[in-house]
A and B are shown apart, each in its own frame.
Chain A
Amino acid sequence: MTATTRAIHLGRQEKPKRGSLLLLIPGIASVVLLGVLPLFIVARNSFAVADDYGGITDGLTFENYAKLLDPVYSKTLLFSLGLGLLNTVVCLVIGYLTSYYIVSRPTNRQGFLLLLVIIPFWTDFLVRTFAWITILGSGGPIAGILGIFGIAGFSVIPSNLAVVLGLLYSFLPTAIFPIYASMRSIDPSLKEAATDLGASWWGVHRRVILPLSSPGILGAALLTFIPTMGVFVIPVLLGGGKDPLVGNLIVTLYTEFRNQPMGAAVSMVLLVLMLASMALVGLALKRSSTKRATTKKTEA
Chain B
Amino acid sequence: MTTQTTSAAADTTAPTTAPAVEIQGLSKEFAGHLAVHPLDLEIRENEFFSILGPSGCGKTTLMRMITGFETPSSGRVRLGGVDVTDVPTRNRDLNMLFQSYALFPHLTVFENVAFELRVRRVAKAEANRRTTEALELVKLGHLGDRKPDQLSGGQRQRVALARAVVSGPKVVLLDEPLGALDQQLRKEMQYELKRMQREVGITFIYVTHDQEEALTMSDRIAVMSEGVVQQVAGPEDIYNRPETRFVAGFIGSCNLLDVQAPAGAEGEEVAVEVPGVGALRGVLGETVPTPRAGTLLLRPERIEVRRAGEGDGVVGVAETLTFLGEEWHLHLRVGEHLLRASVSSLVKERDLPGLAAGDRLSLSWRPQDARIVVR
| A residues adjacent to B (C-beta < 8 A) | 187, 189-190, 192-200, 203, 207-208, 211-212, 292-293, 295-297, 299-300
Contacts and interface: CB of A to CB of B under 8 A. Distances in A.
Given A196-B96, A200-B90, A300-B128, 16 more contacts: A187-B102, A189-B98, A192-B98, A193-B104, A195-B88, A197-B90, A198-B120, A199-B119, A207-B119, A295-B111, A296-B108, A296-B110, A296-B111, A296-B145, A299-B110, A299-B124
B95 A187 contact: no
B107 interface: yes
Contacts of B116: 197-198
B201 interface: no
B147 A198 contact: no
B163 interface: yes
Residue from A189, A193, A211, A212 with most neighbouring chain B CB atoms (10 Å): A193
Contacts of A199: 90, 115, 119
Interface size class on chain B is 20 to 34
B115 A207 contact: yes
Interface of B: 67, 69, 88-91, 95-96, 98, 100, 102, 104-108, 110-111, 115-116, 118-120, 124, 128, 132, 144-145, 147, 163, 167
B365 to A, nearest CB: 48
Contacts of B106: 208, 211-212, 292
Nearest to B146: A293
A193 B98 contact: yes
Say what secondary structure dominates the interface of chain A.
helix
A182 to B, nearest CB: 12
Contacts of B67: 196
B68 to A, nearest CB: 8
B228 to A, nearest CB: 26
Contacts of B119: 194, 197-199, 203, 207
B104 A296 contact: no
A186 to B, nearest CB: 9
A187 B110 CA distance: 20
Given A296-B145, A299-B124, A196 B108 contact: no
Given A187-B100, A203-B119, A296-B111, A198 B90 contact: yes
Contact of B147 (A193, A293, A300): A293
Contacts of B108: 292-293, 295-296
A150 to B, nearest CB: 46
5 nearest CB pairs, A to B: A193-B102, A197-B116, A189-B102, A296-B110, A198-B119
A33 to B, nearest CB: 43
A300 B110 contact: yes
Contacts of B118: 207
A199 B95 CA distance: 12
A299 B144 CA distance: 11
B152 to A, nearest CB: 11
Given A197-B116, A200-B90, A190 B144 contact: no
Contacts of A192: 69, 89, 96, 98, 102
A237 B128 CA distance: 59
A300 B135 CA distance: 13
Contacts of A295: 108, 111
A105 B116 CA distance: 27
B115 A293 contact: no
22 contacts: A187-B102, A189-B102, A190-B102, A192-B89, A193-B98, A195-B69, A195-B90, A196-B67, A196-B69, A196-B90, A198-B119, A207-B115, A207-B118, A208-B104, A212-B106, A292-B106, A293-B145, A295-B108, A296-B111, A299-B124, A300-B110, A300-B132
A296 B115 CA distance: 12
A196 B116 CA distance: 9
A296 B102 contact: no
A240 B218 CA distance: 76
B107 A195 contact: no
Contacts of B102: 187, 189-190, 192-193
B90, B107, B111, most chain A CB atoms within 10 A: B90
B104 A190 contact: yes
A207 B111 CA distance: 11
Contacts of A198: 90-91, 116, 119-120, 167
A194 B119 CA distance: 9
A194 B95 CA distance: 10
Contacts of A197: 90, 95, 115-116, 119, 163, 167
